[in-house]
Amino acid sequence: MRKILGISALLLVVCVVTALLSGSFLSAYNIENLIRRTALFGIISIGVSFVIVTGGIDLSVGSVVCLVGCGVPWLLTTHGWSVPSALAMAVVVSVAVGLFHGLLITRLGLPPFVVTLCGLLLYRGVARGFTRDQTVGFGSDFKSLRSLATGEISLPFISGFSLPVPWLFLVVVAGVAAVFLNRTVYGRHLLALGCNEQAARFSGINTGRMTVLAYVISSFLAGLGGLLFVLDVNSAQPVDFGNFYELYAIAAAVLGGCSLRGGEGTITGVIVGAALMQVLRNMITLVTTHNNVEFAIIGAVILAGVIADELVRRLGARRQKTV
């Protein structure tokens, strides 16, 4: 709870500072765009948080976003697949990627870093291969499908402001994820796995199955995010679509209270972390002319989160010794 309050306070401070430095920050258009981007990145960040909770890491998120984001319009426009068939294929591919990662980690004992790093290279390469490195998109077709990402819900009590539809996806995903992680036995097993894998195994938890489940959830939500991202922008180029999105997701999870050692994390914190990352990006765009420092800030944020986690761990260890 302290971490959530701390990151929420930091988000508020950044918002206030940005609003004071830029008059366009509080415009309806900018706020709606921030909400939409927070929702899209929040979805993939929640997926990554499940892996981090178990003590693992998923570096393939951006490439899965690319694979699904390029694959769906490619199937619809190039090969004439129906919308249900293309969406079903996106689900199958996303789940298969997570299952593939989980089995390599649990059955062969490969390090998660190596497995997902290879996935980062592999899936983007596959996307560049079947699209022949060409831009794919929906053009002026599939407007009803695109409304899943571009649609807006008017709020009668706020004039001139609409709530982006992706926010509804985030609310549903976050609600299901929070209930699953905090109110089900499987969620407790995931947390126990992250705290101490050997102890979890001795207590009767099928740690291999839980690990596979975490990576399936991460890849599935990365696929959902990839679909919404491409529906939002209408087109995708496989060479750079989804580039570094795994960094945004990991940074949001770490800022939101997910320990990279595993065993700790909250869905609410992850959403606040995702919002902070988007506000920081927005501040760079509105306030400065140095947009190229964005990744430097992301790296600094992740490093700060890791340092804070280590300091909190040491402080807790000292208190236990003195008791």
pLDDT tens track for 185-199: 999 999 999 999 999
| The pairing of beta strand 152-154 with beta strand 162-164 | antiparallel
pLDDT, tens only, 144-199: 999 999 998 887 777 677 889 999 999 999 999 999 999 999 999 999 999 999 99
pLDDT, tens only, 205-245: 999 999 999 999 999 999 999 999 999 999 999 999 999 99
> Can you give the residue range of the structural domain that contains 206?
2-322
Kindly report the CATH number assigned to the domain that includes residue 157.
Answer: 1.10.3470
Average pLDDT, integer, range 315-322: 74
Q: Which of 236, 298, 272, 229 is nearest to 49 (CA)?
A: 272
Entry pTM: 0.93
Helical residues (DSSP H) of the chain, grouped into ranges: 2-21, 28-53, 61-73, 83-107, 112-130, 143-150, 166-183, 185-195, 197-202, 207-233, 245-255, 267-287, 294-322
- Number of folded domains in the chain? 1
More confident position, 155 or 119: 119
The model's confidence at residue 323, banded by pLDDT at 50, 70 and 90, is low
